[in-house]
Amino acid sequence: MPDEEVTRLLQALNSGQQDARDLLVRRVYGELRRLAGALMRSERANHTLQPTALVHEAYLRLLVGEANWQNRAHFFGAAAQAMRRVLVEHARKKNAEKRGRKAEHDTLDEHKAWVPGDQLDILVLDEALTALSGVDPRLTRVVELRYFAGLDVEETAELLNVSPATVKRDWNYAKAWLYDHMSRTPGRPEPAEKR
């Protein structure tokens, strides 16, 4: 879908044209669903949250706020944050229901290199991203945009108003920082090379 079409619809929505909302949903739903599907493939097989529910919940959260999205990348950045919040809240709720039982870890396929023990616990990742934002908020935004929103280097650079080379450096640094932080988190499995 052309970026210009989404940007035009976002501008129409921002100016109060309510019919733009329905058109926007039709234009971005497939891409949001694809991103949610990719995120959910990183979760455990018996996860109770489905990609469609993740998209719907994230989209509802996007519409509640006073958003003024400037372009496609800005919109998908906001969608990434909304999906992260939905996944974290879902994991917290499930952990609260399982008190006393060891929480299951979610497998991460695409980004195993920065996840200790090839496991991902969305709550541990959220805690690590929160800690990373204290070091450099832009690094956290790069992870949200690349991992949660599925934006490429150029789209991320455009949204953050930095060069693609800066995004690549930030992405590599953030992955290494998260790997180190998550490998030192109590209760996490030791990385294979340290065993």
Checking if the pLDDT of 194 tops 80, the result is no
b/e for 164-176, b at 16 or more Cβ within 10 A? eebbeebbeebbe
Give me the helices (H) in the chain, please.
3-14, 19-41, 51-64, 72-97, 122-135, 137-143, 153-160, 164-183
The structure tokens listed for 164 are 């693609």
For residue 155, name the pLDDT band (cuts at 50, 70, 90).
Answer: confident
Checking if the pLDDT of 79 tops 80, the result is yes
pLDDT tens, residue by residue, 101-149:
444 433 333 444 444 444 467 788 888 999 999 999 999 999 988 888 8
Q: Quote the pLDDT of residue 148.
A: 81
Determine which helix (DSSP H) or strand (DSSP E) holds 106, and give its type and residue range: strand 106-107
pTM: 0.61
Q: Quote the pLDDT of residue 177.
A: 92
User: Between 83 and 3, whose confidence is greater?
Assistant: 83
By the 8 A CB rule, do 143 and 129 touch? yes
The structure tokens listed for 106 are 């979610």
**Residues facing residue 107 across a β-bridge:** 119
Q: For the chain, give the number of residues.
A: 195
CB atoms within 10 A of CB 141: 20
Determine which helix (DSSP H) or strand (DSSP E) holds 107, and give its type and residue range: strand 106-107
Distance of CA 99 to the CA centre of its chain: 26
User: Between 1 and 16, whose confidence is greater?
Assistant: 16
3-class DSSP state for residue 120?
A: strand
The mean pLDDT of the chain is: 77
Question: Which residue's entry shows tokens 């030791």?
Answer: 190
Cα angle 172, 147, 151; round to 5: 95
